[in-house]
Amino acid sequence: MATEILMPALSPTMEEGTLAKWLVKEGDTVSAGDILAEIETDKATMEFEAVDEGTIGKIMVSEGSEGVKVNTPIAVLVEEGEDVPADTQAEAPAKAEPDTAPAAAPAQATAPAPAAPKTDTSPDWPDGTETRKQTVRESLRDAMAEEMRRTQEVFVMGEEVAEYEGAYKITQGLLDEFGAKRVIDTPITEHGFAGIGVGAAFGGLRPIVEFMTFNFAMQAIDQILNSAAKTLYMSGGQMGCPIVFRGPNGAAARVGAQHSQCYAAWYSAIPGLKVVMPYSASDAKGLLKQAIRDPNPVIFLENEILYGKSFDVPVLDDFTIPFGKARIERAGDDVTIVSFGIGMTYALEAAERLAADGINAEVINLRTIRPMDTDTILASVMKTNRLVTVEEGYPQSSVGNFITSVVMENAFDHLDAPVINLCGKDVPMPYAANLEKLALVTTDEVVEAAHKVTYR
Amino acid sequence: MATRKSTAKSNVSADELLGYYRDMLLIRRFEEKAGQLYGMGLIGGFCHLYIGQEAVVVGLEAAAKEGDKRVTSYRDHGHMLACGMDPKGVMAELTGREGGYSKGKGGSMHMFSKEKHFYGGHGIVGAQVPLGAGLAFSDMYKENDNVTFAYFGDGAANQGQVYETYNMAMLWSLPVIFVIENNKYAMGTSVQRATKSPSLWERGAAYGIAGEEVDGMDVLAVKAAGEKAVAHCRARKGPYILEIMTYRYRGHSMSDPAKYRTRDEVQKMREERDAIEHVRELLLQGKHASEEDLKAVDKEIKGIVNDAAEFAKESPEPAVDELWTDIYAAEVPQNA
């Protein structure tokens, strides 16, 4: 009985990978545990083992194929003397294409619609600037490398940042270029190394502290709030703390309650902190460079699911995005949708679908949660008279709640419908795939909310 | 590795000895005055006095050089005076006035001086320990020979981040001296009621950190141990732990009735082991100073403390605008 060998999922967020190398050929006999192939995920190159014994009857995906979707048959294993079934055909190597299926991970952002008059949706770089496709992961790495080249005081520390090149491969290549003095592996000791980072900033350095995820930063939150955020004030302006705390934040995929939590609202409540949450690769690059240069403690909230997504990034020697400047990703007159980080994927998908229904949504990518560009939100709400906010965090005391209060105080008379704050559900993140999907905010909910506030 | 209790004594001149007497007396009189001002309602909130522990900071400052850093907990007035911060600025911070080191915005527990390399004044027990290691990290990174004194109490010695810091400090050979000021009580809990460890410095052995116990009521013993620790750190041999056995005469804070120990215990320590009396005797017995000389010092100190108190009363409260300043820095601060 022939068995198909399928492209394996080798990490919680892996959707596709590269079949880097076959270590067996057609006709080879294999036993369970033999290494069949090397598969490159977005994070690492992994060896893929046989789970059954048999003979490799057919290799269906040739080595070097990129963008092979998880669960694609890559080979056929036959029993001794058995023929390869006739209906098995080698697939053409799949090309890396955006996932169009309505899976947990959303598709890439669509290009912004033509701008409505007077609404500035221009990119963050001058007209005519060359751009290239880059993943969020690569742009974060480039941002750090550029700033480390620029300033000797900048160094990066955290768990697995050096020799392992980052648990999520964000610090890939940094150890090679900058050496162990400036790319520092720490023991698993968040409270301790966060405090050492803050002390180093007091001592005149510019640390980038990577948390493997922001869930682990809970161990260090005293150092972030009490030591980093408050010292400038408590010292009457004498002693600042230029430091970046960065790492993935929010839900990844199927990692359960303790690893799936958005901290945007938490940190944005704290005076003295700046809180950044990039969506695209250009956001990630421009904002991280800005964060490293900022003289204050910056919480830089990344997203694991976005790491592998590609976007246009300008080819510029020194590209930064100022804090407190939202970007209107899509202009529209009927409803304002404000989001940030991965929430933007739902907001933009919804806007696309709403356009088909004749509703033109204006989509604002907040980018920095603190300081917040409330002017852009207010100007948009005064035009559309309706507001939906979208985020993955919990609903009580959400970022959306704050935006709503700002709009109520400053544009109450412009509102034609109650504001809707879309958030993750008010539950710890469940593990079960169906429940996890329900716990997260969805594109459908954004579409529905926009219909509700427009009464259409 | 670990060594036993230090018995070494520094060779000090008569002038140096008189200097320690003066510095310790300044702290004691300053703290007594702070206690008075607290009683008068001029100082608010928490106020943790350093009376009894003066020899610790004075002895260690005698072993420090320009460029060395220090960071401590909320019982910080003594550290600030010992490293040369202006008593007026410290006292005015206690009264929450514009003339205070933090413009009145920090208070007793949160004061800093970039000029004197004093990095706080931290209100969360134990939080200053990784900060101190981070300061030492910055000096190692810059490849200079400065060391950092990270002070904490016997209470903080049971906090987890202390051991996270020990581990990394030794791993990276950070030039940091962990100074455990063991005054025997973490607020109202005696050391014996908080741990079965016979000594706190020996815990460093688990991380390979050398250290020793020091008589904290003897400023010369503290200085000698400090010199040894400083030499160890400057030679890039990694961190060092000094567990300095001391005693606070006053309560944990001004609102502490101190029911956890007897009046006799405190009295006995004051009469038999007082650090200032000890130096006073050394000065007189060695004929390094006369009663008259010491009276002159007392008078000078009294003047300084009275001036500080006067300044702290007269300095205006911070301008209302100060509520909204110093939340974010506009440019990169030159911290070091």
What is residue A94's predicted lDDT score, i.e. its pLDDT?
Answer: 44
Q: How confident is the model at residue A108 (pLDDT cuts 50, 70, 90)?
A: very low
Q: Where are the beta strands (DSSP E) in A24-153?
A: 29-30, 35-40, 45-49, 54-59, 65-69, 73-78, 131-135
| Mean pLDDT of the region A308-324 | 96
From the list A15, A146, A165, A190, the catalytic residue is A190
What is residue A79's predicted lDDT score, i.e. its pLDDT?
Answer: 85
Mean pLDDT, chain B, whole residue set? 94
Q: Per-residue pLDDT for A256 more than 60? A: yes
pTM, two decimals, is 0.89
Q: Is A451 designated active site? A: no
Chain position carrying tokens 């716990």: A439
What is residue A118's predicted lDDT score, i.e. its pLDDT?
Answer: 66
Both tokens assigned to B18: 């008189």
Render pLDDT for A189-230 as a digit per residue (tens, 0 to 9).
999 999 999 999 999 999 999 999 999 999 999 999 999 999
> Are the C-beta atoms of residues A165 and A156 closer than 8 Å to each other?
no
Residue B4 located in a structural domain: no
Distance CA A170, CA A164 (A): 10
Check residues A87 and A344 and name the one with the higher pLDDT: A344
Q: How confident is the model at residue B177 (pLDDT cuts 50, 70, 90)?
A: very high
Q: How far is B282 from chain A, CA to nearest CA, in Å?
A: 39
How many Å separate Cα A424 from the centre of its chain? Answer: 16
What is residue A89's predicted lDDT score, i.e. its pLDDT?
Answer: 53
Q: Per-residue pLDDT for A325 more than 90? A: yes
Distance CA A272, CA A116 (A): 37
| Mean pLDDT of the region A360-372 | 98
What is residue A122's predicted lDDT score, i.e. its pLDDT?
Answer: 85
| Mean pLDDT of the region B245-269 | 91
Render pLDDT for B1-43 as a digit per residue (tens, 0 to 9).
444 444 445 578 999 999 999 999 999 999 999 999 999 999 9
Both tokens assigned to A198: 């803050």
Residue of B nearest to A189 (CA): B164
High-pLDDT (> 90) share of chain A, %:
79
Check residues B266 and B6 and name the one with the higher pLDDT: B266
Residue type at position A426: D
| Mean pLDDT of the region B68-84 | 98
| A29, burial (CB in 10 Å: exposed 0-12, middle 13-18, buried 19+) | exposed
From the list A16, A210, A259, A349, the catalytic residue is A259
What phi and psi values does residue A369 have, to the nearest 5 degrees?
Answer: -85, -30
Both tokens assigned to A244: 């970046």
Render pLDDT for A34-80 as a digit per residue (tens, 0 to 9).
889 999 887 778 888 888 888 999 999 999 999 999 889 999 999 87
Contact A226 B161 (CB under 8 A): no
What is residue B332's predicted lDDT score, i.e. its pLDDT?
Answer: 55
What is residue B7's predicted lDDT score, i.e. its pLDDT?
Answer: 45
What is residue B255's predicted lDDT score, i.e. its pLDDT?
Answer: 84
Check residues B332 and A99 and name the one with the higher pLDDT: B332
- Provide, as residue numbers in chain A, all residues whose Cβ is less than 8 Å from the Cβ of B334: 204
Q: Per-residue pLDDT for A111 more than 80? A: no
Question: Which of B169, B174, B120 has its CA nearest to residue B142?
Answer: B174
Distance CA B78, CA B23 (A): 9
Question: Which of B133, B152, B154 has its CA nearest to residue B200?
Answer: B154
What is residue A356's predicted lDDT score, i.e. its pLDDT?
Answer: 97
Residue B1 located in a structural domain: no
CATH of the domain at B132: 3.40.50.970
Distance CA B285, CA B307 (A): 32
Residue B8 located in a structural domain: no
Q: Per-residue pLDDT for B335 more than 80? A: no
The ipTM value here is: 0.92
How many Å separate Cα B278 from the centre of its chain? Answer: 19
High-pLDDT (> 70) share of chain B, %:
96
Optimal mutation site among A205, A230, A235, A290, interface B, most CBs of chain B within 10 A: A235
Both tokens assigned to A58: 């057919």
Distance CA B238, CA B208 (A): 10
Q: How far is A220 from chain B, CA to nearest CA, in Å?
A: 9
Render pLDDT for B188-244 as a digit per residue (tens, 0 to 9).
999 999 999 989 999 999 999 999 999 999 999 999 999 999 999 999 999 999 999
DSSP codes of every residue in B258-281: -TTS-HHHHHHHHHHH-HHHHHHH
N- to C-terminal Cα separation, chain A: 56
Q: Per-residue pLDDT for A114 more than 50? A: no
Render pLDDT for A294-305 as a digit per residue (tens, 0 to 9).
999 999 999 999
| Mean pLDDT of the region B133-148 | 98
Residue B6 located in a structural domain: no
Residues in a beta bridge with A301: A247
> Are the C-beta atoms of residues B254 and B45 closer than 8 Å to each other?
no
Q: Which residue among A181, A233, A238 places its CB closest to the CB of B327?
A: A233
Contact A195 B131 (CB under 8 A): yes
Q: Which residue among A196, A201, A272 places its CB closest to the CB of B133?
A: A196
High-pLDDT (> 90) share of chain B, %:
91
The alpha carbons of chain A give a radius of gyration, in whole angstroms, of 24
Q: Per-residue pLDDT for B51 more than 80? A: yes
Distance CA A335, CA A380 (A): 9
- Provide, as residue numbers in chain B, all residues whose Cβ is less than 8 Å from the Cβ of A293: 332
Q: Where are the beta strands (DSSP E) in A219-360?
A: 243-248, 274-276, 297-302, 310-314, 327-330, 335-339
Q: Does the CB of A179 have a partner CB in chain B at under 8 Å?
A: no
Is the Cα torsion angle A299, A305, A308, A310 positive or negative in sign? negative
What is residue A216's predicted lDDT score, i.e. its pLDDT?
Answer: 96
Q: Strands A65-69, A45-49: parallel, antiparallel or unpaired by DSSP?
A: unpaired
What is residue A365's predicted lDDT score, i.e. its pLDDT?
Answer: 98
Parent domain of B108 = 14-314
What is residue B9's predicted lDDT score, i.e. its pLDDT?
Answer: 57
Q: Which residue among B103, B127, B335 places its CB closest to the CB of A236?
A: B103
Q: Which domains does chain A carry?
A: 3-78 (2.40.50.100), 135-314 (3.40.50.970), 327-454 (3.40.50.920)
- Provide, as residue numbers in chain B, all residues whose Cβ is less than 8 Å from the Cβ of A200: 134-135, 137-138, 141
High-pLDDT (> 70) share of chain A, %:
92
Contact A202 B119 (CB under 8 A): yes
Residue B335 located in a structural domain: no
Chain position carrying tokens 């009396």: B277
Q: CB atoms < 10 A from the CB of B263, how many?
A: 8
What phi and psi values does residue A67 have, to the nearest 5 degrees?
Answer: 65, 35
- Provide, as residue numbers in chain A, all residues whose Cβ is less than 8 Å from the Cβ of B73: none
Residue B20 located in a structural domain: yes
Residue B57 located in a structural domain: yes
Residue B320 located in a structural domain: no
| Total number of domains constituting chain B | 1
What phi and psi values does residue A392 have, to the nearest 5 degrees?
Answer: -95, -15
Contact A195 B127 (CB under 8 A): yes
Distance CA A434, CA A436 (A): 5
